[in-house]
Structure 1
């Protein structure tokens, strides 16, 4: 039995005829009869009987109709509860972000949503390889994800995608390095330098793979570090070059040594990574989740500007 069948049985008890039920529910009499037949197949005792030309409830039918009314009421309450949850502007929203985006975006986002009636955002950091970001939407309402622009797109049949920005990865050098005076660098300029980069499967390593291919020489990778603050500190200390995202690395750079770190773009190929919000489509039905997504767009736009 299902709730539609119970609704039909309840209306039959109230209205006393199949025709009246059909008119009240705006369906055909045959559709009413079909629902009653399906319901009857699921129980062992007769639910209806003929009374002249009309079909009326048996005692068992009346018992089930009363029970069905309680089920219908409970379902209505459940729908009202979920509607209230969907529409609540201040409901909790869980957000996962990779480290460099978290450094740059979490604090300003928290400030932007600090007023009354705003969603309560719960942050966590999860830095995974590109192909693993969509799976995080099973545990979080919104997932800050990144991928290289030339890499396979997100599976839009599984997740909704909200684009935030396309962020270049630039070469990070100590401010006193001989190459720091150039406005942009080529693969040939940096191919012989020692490097700190990410573990394989992450954006910086993808860029360096392209640099090595363009320069037709293997690169000398000294360190493999995923945390951009650590990368910036190693670059500032001298001895290695690194790759840092142009916008979101500012939080890391502001903490470095007095001699500092400078960023220079790489010419000759695309180093941009896509920074996007991923979510399951049903999560975006919630008003609070949409509000947080809008705030992310505003914060990212301000960071890029």
Structure 2
């Protein structure tokens, strides 16, 4: 069986549609169909079935897809074993960053690897809803992603490596009536005016839980995904917001304070996502180690800029 066709079958199970597979492979949907048809002829059994306008895997297709994952991982390991020397360990690695982690991580990661004669890293920024994040691993070697820690694990057949856990704090104008408190309760906040992210992004999910804990509807006046803009709105218009403590804390300007949330504490989990076969590459492992070292600086006492913000 052609390994390329096995990868296509695997992607169909992970991504769920011919169109998504075609986009990930930069080929036409008809070319995807041709690859699957050829694989089915080679397998001698039905691997897919139509359901409405969609294409689903049969039980035999799912079994072959599971085996294909092992084949792809084994192929990556075999290639790494053959080329496991300095050149392979320095092979270029592409990394996708989400916007709030970019200022903290992007430049420091590239500089750290350059100083250590490590792999060349190319950085891209992506701002997509959580449901679309796993598909980015078809375009990048490593994809930085975040979710609240109680959310389900990432789908799409990706592997996830934890980098950082950080709580969400409440950002308030320094002159706000609640700014003098050491910590805040959801009941204190439900009647406030808020700025939050667009639906499908975090921290919109945090506000939903604040409202549920307070048994009141939370009034959101602005929907903004950029944390620097959120902090500016808090500073100048009197709204409040939920911000991740370490990565976004460095963006908090004078006149804004951060206070922890009691009763419904929310934690943001930052992870590096990759295809399992990609993680087997030595260069990717070197970049992953550098990512961990840079993110360690964002933890309390780690010496990172966010940890020293004082807010």
Q: Same fold (TM over 0.5)?
A: yes
TM-score by structure 1 length? 0.69
1-side partners of 2:154 and 2:112: how far apart? 28
Distance 1:197 1:288 in 2: 37
- Counterpart CA distance in 1 for 2:213 and 2:79 is 58
CA apart distance, 1:81: 11
Q: Does 2:125 match 1:130?
A: no
Aligned to 1:140: 140
Q: Give the Å deviation of 1:122.
A: 0.6
Q: Distance in 2 between matches of 1:123 and 1:223?
A: 29
Structure 1 residue 131: deviation in Å? Answer: 1.7
Q: Unaligned 5+ residue runs, structure 2?
A: 3-77, 301-311
**Matching of residue 111 in structure 1 with residue 106 in structure 2:** no
Q: Could you list the per-position Cα deviations for residues 70-120 of structure 1 after superposition, in whole angstroms to 9, with x for gaps in the alignment?
A: xxxxxxxx9699726896222111000110011211122122112252111
Secondary structure of residue in 2 paired with 1:158: coil
Q: Is the 8 A contact 2:169 2:245 kept in 1?
A: yes
Q: Which residue of 1 aligns with 2:92?
A: 92
- Alignment partner, residue 158 of structure 2: 159
Deviations along 1:246-267, one digit per CA (max 9) or x if unpaired, are 01013322xx3x4x21111111
Which structure 1 residue ranges, 4+ long, deviate > 4 Å from structure 2?
A: 78-82, 84-87
* 1:287 alignment partner, one of 278, 282, 285: 282
Structure 1 unpaired stretches of 5+: 3-77
- Displacement after TM superposition at 1:153 (Å): 1.0
TM-score by length of 2: 0.68
Larger Rg: 1
Distance 1:175 1:79, change over 3 A: closer
CA distance in 2, matches of 1:195, 1:221: 5
Task: State how far apart, in whole Å, the 2-side matches of 1:173 and 1:80 are.
Answer: 50
| Inter-partner Cα distance in structure 2 for 1:234 and 1:79 | 51
Secondary structure of the structure 2 residue equivalent to 1:168? strand
Aligned alpha-carbon RMSD (Å): 2.4
1:298 aligns with 2:297: no
1:65 — aligned with what? none
The equivalent residue for 2:230 is 231
How many Å separate the matches in 2 of 1:80 and 1:151? 34
Q: 1:89 to 1:79 in 2, by over 3 A?
A: closer
Correspondence for 2:173: 174
Distance 1:118 1:183, change over 3 A: same
> What residue number does 1:207 align with?
206
Question: Following the alignment from structure 2 to structure 1, what is the Cα–Cα distance between the partners of residues 277 and 297?
Answer: 28
